[in-house]
Amino acid sequence: MKKFLFAYPLLLAALLLSSCGKKETSRTPVELTGPEGLSCEIAGRKLNRTKFLIVPGRYTMGFSAPGYRSEYRHVTVPAGKKFTYKCDLAPVRSSVLIRSTPAGAAVTMNGRSMGLTPLVIRDLPAGEYSAELSMKGYAKIPVAWKVTSERPVAVSGVLDSNQGKLRVTSSPSRARVIVDGSEVGETPCVIERSEGKYVIRLERAGCNPEERNVSIVSRREARLHVKLGQKPGAIQVTSEPVGAEIFIGGVKRGASPCKLEALEPGEYTLKFVYPGFDPAEKTVRVLAGVTDKIHVNMLKSTGSVVFNIAPAGVEVFLNDNSLGITRSVVPGADATKDFRVDNLMPGTYTVTMFHSLGDPQRQSFTFKVRKNQNLTLKSRTMWIADCEITYQNGTRERGFLRESNSAYVTFSPEPGIQFRVDRSKIKKLVMLKGAKK
pLDDT digits (tens, 9 = 90+) for 407-437: 999 998 888 889 999 999 999 999 988 665 4
Residue 286 exposure: Cα atoms within 13 Å on the Cβ side: 24
Percent of the chain beyond pLDDT 70?
93
pLDDT digits (tens, 9 = 90+) for 336-394: 999 999 989 899 999 999 998 888 899 999 999 998 889 999 999 888 888 999 999 99
Q: Output the pTM of the full model.
A: 0.41
pLDDT digits (tens, 9 = 90+) for 179-217: 999 999 999 999 988 888 999 999 998 889 999 999 999
Per-residue pLDDT band for 247 (boundaries 50, 70, 90) equals: very high
pLDDT of residue 331: 81
Dihedral-angle region of residue 340 (phi above 0 means left; psi in -120 to 50 means alpha; beta otherwise): beta
